[in-house]
Amino acid sequence: MNYNADIAVLGGGASGLIAAITAKRLNPNLSVYIFEALDRVGKKLITTGNGRCNITNLNLDLSRFHGQDVSFCEYALSRFGFSETKDFFYSIGVDFTAEGDKVYPASLQASSVVDALRFECERIGVNTVLNCKIEDICFGKEYILLSSEHSVSAKALILASGLFSGGDKVGSCGNVFRLLKNDGFKTVKVSPSLVQLKTETDFVRQLKGIKSIAKATLLCGNKPVCSYTDEVLFCDYGLSGPAILQISRQSGRDDKEYFVSLDLYPDLNNDALALRIKERAKMFGGRTLEEFFVGSLNKRLAQVVLKYCGYKLSDYASSLNDNDFVRIAEALKNFKFKVLSNTGFINSQVSAGGISTNEFDNKTLMSKRYNRLFAAGELLDIDGDCGGFNLSWAWASGAIAAESAVNSL
């Protein structure tokens, strides 16, 4: 089937949906099409925020975003920040609620966000073509998009197809990225981010299923790279949980040796923790080390840490001396694991890297190579921390790209 579009949007995810709606609202006379590779729009969006959709964040500080040139996203976020995002979603029937700085739809259902976006597309006349995986793009004064069953001619093209995260069940698996790369667009290495880490398993396997609040630090050798304090989940393959996802980005970016250090008592320094352990030994000297930390730390976690630093659980707390208190404190403050790899794109929430932002103008998001070619969202070398930052970039970049596309026509 052949389609003629004033504006074609490749990808029916977060950035693509808001781009199509924004463009059609700005000029209802334009024909706006979304071409989506899957059988419905917003599949990845439905999975965000554990099904609740962490839609944005109250504090969109630039330090929460990453890429070779983070300043690239500053203009879009200043033009379409939290208040603009809130106004847009209010206009399609989605109210907000906040948990700390994290903002969710009041329904706490990601599906309701997708439905509201889909309903608005239908209401204002955005055309959506599903099961349309674009296999080739001819760049020129007009854009010709080809799939196995469709041919599309477009005056302006917005690329909002995402990258590899989530696999082919929720995304295009980077098909557009490969087409641009083959055309000569500069790229930045793509790797999984906000992803679980595989580690040496001697100790984590014994802790499978246990959750603990900890300060997780990613180390390159012995040098700290980044830290985050939140819940850590021990798995048979390694480590997961919000704290691990937040620090995972750099571990897949190069071939250097990385470790994760867990501080299980982040509110106490080493000396204070050693003193507390000494006080417990005086109070509970009749306990074996197997029961020593009951009431202070998860029982099994404490037992594994004690074994980690070489103690027998059958020994009594009364046998500990000052050197032991220091040694145990150090282990609890630096429970350390070598990172072997991560769990891959299919388990990652976002892809780091992408098409170099040097290829696009930061104010219009238009290509420096081709007129009326725009990009938005994850496809570009911008990614954010966990907490609504990646969706914030999707909304902002999609809206700005759409505005620029309409203006270009």
pLDDT tens, 53-66? 999 999 999 999 99
Tokens of residue 155, six digits: 């005056």
Rounded distance between C-alpha atoms, residue 329 and residue 323, angstroms: 10
What share of the chain has pLDDT > 70, as a percent? 99
pLDDT at 159: 97
> What is the pairing mode between strands 151-159 and 2-10?
parallel
CA angle 248/249/255 to nearest 5° reads 95
Per-residue pLDDT tens over the stretch 252-298? 899 999 999 999 999 999 999 999 999 999 999 999 999 999 999 99
* 171 pLDDT above the threshold of 70: no
- The CA angle 246-252-253, to the nearest 5 degrees, is 105
- 167 pLDDT above the threshold of 90: no
- Over residues 228-245, the mean pLDDT reads 97
Is the pLDDT at 343 greater than 80? The verdict is yes
pLDDT at 301: 98
**What is the largest distance, in Å, between two alpha-carbon atoms of the chain?**
83
Quick one: pLDDT band at residue 49, thresholds 50, 70, 90? confident
234 CB contacts (<8 Å, ≥6 apart)?
Answer: 204, 207, 208, 209, 210, 211, 212, 301
Instruction: Give the pLDDT of residue 170.
Output: 66
Mean predicted confidence (pLDDT) in 341-349: 94
Strand ranges (E), 147-222: 151-159, 187-193, 197-199, 211-220
Confidence tier at 169 by pLDDT (50, 70, 90): low
Looking at residue 102, its pLDDT comes to 96
What integer best gives the mean pLDDT of the chain?
A: 95
Alpha carbon 236 to its chain centroid, in Å, reads 23
Region 90-113: mean pLDDT is 97
Tell me the pLDDT band of 374, cut-offs 50, 70 and 90: very high
Domains and CATH numbers, the chain: 2-192+349-408 (3.50.50.60), 193-265+336-342 (2.40.30.10), 270-333 (1.10.8)
Give Cα separations from 239 to 16, 192, 322, 341, 356 (angstroms): 33, 15, 32, 11, 31
What are the helix (H) ranges across 51-145?
Answer: 74-79, 82-91, 110-124
| C-alpha to C-alpha distance for 267 and 276, rounded to whole angstroms | 12
> What would the mean pLDDT of 245-256 be, rounded to a whole number?
92
User: Which pLDDT belongs to residue 60?
Assistant: 96
Average pLDDT of the segment spanning 79-94? 98
Give the helix ranges, DSSP H, for 248-362: 270-283, 299-308, 322-333
Q: Taking residues 21-49, what's their average pLDDT?
A: 95
pLDDT (average), residues 125-135: 94
Q: Does position 91 have pLDDT exceeding 70, yes or no?
A: yes
Residue 406 pLDDT greater than 70, yes or no: yes
232, pLDDT greater than 80: yes
Asked whether the predicted pLDDT for residue 172 surpasses 70, the reply is no
Residues 65-82 as b or e (16 or more Cβ within 10 Å = b): bbbeebebbebbbeebeb
Average pLDDT over residues 319-327: 97
How does residue 175 score in pLDDT terms, banded at 50, 70 and 90?
confident
